[in-house]
Amino acid sequence: MSLLEVKNLKVHFPVKHGMFSRTHEFVKAVDDVSFAIEPGETLGLVGESGCGKTTLGRAIVRLVEPTAGNVLLDGEDVTRMNGSILRARRRKFQIIFQDPYGSLNPRMTVEQIVGEALDIHKLTDSKPARQKRITELLKAVGLDAIYAQRYPHEFSGGQRQRIGIARALAVEPELIICDEPVSALDVSVQAQIINLLRDLQQERGIAYLFIAHDLAVVEHISRRVMVMYLGKIVETADAKAIIRDPQHPYTQALISAIPEVDPESKRQRIILPGDVPSPIHPPGGCPFHPRCPIAEERCRTEVPAFREVAKNHFAACHLAGTKIDLPRNPARREAV
Ligand code: SF4
């Protein structure tokens, strides 16, 4: 049994118009998404801003209410839980956010922030035990206990993210949703936080859903990667396979944007025309067709099936595996 199973999950937000605020339309932020995460695994989730990846992460932990579908954690359906049962199960899954400052209460000390999670779930039975556990948690994320009485504004961005990780670790979760945890940090600090998450995973066997818009970051930490576009998963595979042989044109465009260390590299950047369409009125057929450099007539009308195109490699594209031919599309190319 998988640690997490997400089945046909949908999150549709109503859009209200007019004097009587009647709902005529919906933003399909997450539209029929299914996947699984095994214990101790890191699954990467990548896509442009607004593709629905943050909403998906929040729906899994019920910070956003799913419209339909199921989220099974250890076989128990989180979408059917409420009240005290949901609160108790929340121990198993935690979330860390892009903006650690915004997610830390500025009026609470580090000790209070980390200790709050211990108190809610009654995880220590005496003051000395609580103090000892807070010291252990701060040490686990690379912070000295002398910082325990300080407030969030006294720390750097990287240190604040460490406090957020310590708070998540306090309840000994089996799964952490990492929602763009390094996007707001300098590159050198990004590497430190990713290495910390990796070390904690090895020590404690925690699984991660690691969300980011940067495929290079996701590939660095994930065993498998999912690519999301307009609320749907369009490709998923082993991280190495997806970088080496992307099957979906959108994934090819994301990979072409990764800067290369080798100055002799001839890789060209694929510039997609237009912006991501509105999720209120997604295009018919393949939702990527208005921006796809290799779209055919049938792409306008036929929804591509999400199918296995190589062993454990899935993509939703009629022409999966066809590479974008840059020299024949000069208007759509640009050297990186
Ligand atoms: Fe492009 Fe057609 Fe594949 Fe969609 S189905 S990604 S439009 S080739």
49-63 mean pLDDT: 95
Å from CA of 226 to ligand 1 middle: 17
Q: Is 227 domain-assigned? A: no
Which mutation among 270, 291, 294 tests ligand 1's pocket best, with the greatest number of atoms within 8 A of CB? 294
The verdict on 273 and 316 lying in the same domain is yes
- Are the beta carbons of 231 and 282 closer than 8 angstroms? yes
Q: Is 74 domain-assigned? A: yes
Q: Is the CB of 53 under 6 A from ligand 1?
A: no
The verdict on 218 and 156 lying in the same domain is yes
Cα separations in angstroms, 113 against 10, 76, 118, 196, 204: 32, 29, 9, 20, 21
Domain end call among 222, 240, 262: 222
Of 222, 231, 220, nearest to 192 (Cα)?
220
> From CA 205, how far away is CA 203, in angstroms rounded?
6
Closest Cα to atom 5 of ligand 1? 317
Domain end call among 222, 250, 270: 222
Q: Is 257 domain-assigned? A: yes
The verdict on 152 and 61 lying in the same domain is yes
The verdict on 249 and 131 lying in the same domain is no
- Are the beta carbons of 256 and 265 closer than 8 angstroms? no
pLDDT at 90 over 90: no
- Are the beta carbons of 247 and 309 closer than 8 angstroms? yes
- Are the beta carbons of 304 and 316 closer than 8 angstroms? yes
pLDDT at residue 327, rounded to an integer: 54
Q: How many independent structural domains does the chain possess? A: 2
The verdict on 94 and 22 lying in the same domain is yes
Q: Average the pLDDT over each of 40-44, 57-61, 212-216, 273-277 and give the range with the smallest value.
A: 273-277
Instruction: Specify the CATH number for the domain of residue 46.
Output: 3.40.50.300
> From CA 38, how far away is CA 206, in angstroms rounded?
10
pLDDT at 329 over 50: no
> From CA 38, how far away is CA 314, in angstroms rounded?
18
pTM for this prediction: 0.91
> From CA 198, how far away is CA 192, in angstroms rounded?
10
Q: Which residues make Cβ contacts (< 8 Å) with residue 77, sequence separation at least 6?
A: 70, 71
The verdict on 197 and 143 lying in the same domain is yes
Q: Is 261 domain-assigned? A: yes
Q: What is the pLDDT of residues 190-249, one digit of tens each?
A: 999 999 999 999 999 999 999 999 898 998 899 999 999 999 999 999 999 999 999 999
Tokens (6 digits) for 63: 């910070």
pLDDT at residue 262, rounded to an integer: 64
Q: Is the CB of 291 under 6 A from ligand 1?
A: no
Q: Residue 282 is part of which domain span?
A: 232-336
The verdict on 158 and 259 lying in the same domain is no
pLDDT at residue 18, rounded to an integer: 67
Q: Is 25 domain-assigned? A: yes
- Are the beta carbons of 233 and 10 closer than 8 angstroms? no
- Are the beta carbons of 150 and 109 closer than 8 angstroms? yes
> From CA 63, how far away is CA 20, in angstroms rounded?
28
> From CA 208, how far away is CA 173, in angstroms rounded?
10
pLDDT at residue 330, rounded to an integer: 44
Question: How does the average pLDDT of the chain come out, rounded?
Answer: 91
297-309 mean pLDDT: 97
Which mutation among 318, 324, 325, 332 tests ligand 1's pocket best, with the greatest number of atoms within 8 A of CB? 318
